[in-house]
Structure 1
Amino acid sequence: MQIFNIIPMGKPRMTRADKWKKRDVVLRYRAFCDEVRLNGLVMPETGGHITFVIPMPASWSQKKRAAMKGQAHQQKPDADNMLKALMDALFTDDAHIWAVRVTKRWGETGQILISTNERAA
């Protein structure tokens, strides 16, 4: 299993104007893509399981943090947008990826976990 201490994010809706406009969400997305590339993240073509660990808000109580740690993250950003952001950061053409499993969980810090399953899906 590969563990990367990168705070995951979903891919934002982008327009042609984002090539020259400096919208905050687009700047954060571009920084996320750069960080993914710099950390040497590798994704298998098939049988991969990607877990996005979303950091819990600082405003949560210690009791709520303890209860939610490792639980399913069922809020925005959507899992498909997070996977889209990751794959766009790694590949110019991601057509060769044909089977992947995605999970979102709450955690203390943001992470991306990639495990490979040797059996094809």
Structure 2
Amino acid sequence: MQIYDITPLGKPRQTQRDKWARRPAVLRYRAFCDEVRLRGVSLPEGGCHITFVIPMPDSWSKKKRAELTGRPHQQRPDLDNLHKALMDAIFDEDSAVWDARITKIWGERGQIRIESIA
């Protein structure tokens, strides 16, 4: 299993203007893509389980944190946007990947976990 200490980020909706405009959401997305590439994140073409660990807000109590650690994350960002952002950061053409299972859970800090299933 590969574990990367990168806070997952969903892919934002973009327009042609975003090629030159500096919207904060797009800047965060580009920084995420740069960090994924810098750390050398890789995916097998088939048979992997990707787990996105979404960090809990600082405002949550210790009791709530303990209760929700490792539990399913059922809020935004959407699962497909997280997957899209990761795939676009890793691959120029991601059509080669044909099998992946995606999960998102709560955690103390953001992570991307990739487990090969072969």
TM-score by length of 1: 0.97
Match of 1:97 in 2: 97
Give the 4+ runs in structure 1 shifted more than 3 A. none
- Aligned pairs, number: 118
Match of 1:30 in 2: 30
List gaps (5 residues or longer) in structure 2. none
Distance, in Å, in 2 between the alignment partners of 1:115 and 1:18 is 34
Report the aligned-residue RMSD.
Answer: 0.4
Deviation of 1:44 after TM superposition, in Å, equals 0.8
Structure 1, residues 59-111: CA drift from partner, whole Å, max 9, x if none? 10100000000000000001110000000000110011011000000000000
**Counterpart secondary structure, 1:64:** helix
**Counterpart secondary structure, 2:106:** strand
Deviation of 1:32 after TM superposition, in Å, equals 0.0
Corresponding position: 1:48 with 2:53: no
Distance, in Å, in 2 between the alignment partners of 1:53 and 1:47 is 20
**Counterpart secondary structure, 2:40:** coil
Identity %: 63
Distance, in Å, in 2 between the alignment partners of 1:20 and 1:78 is 26
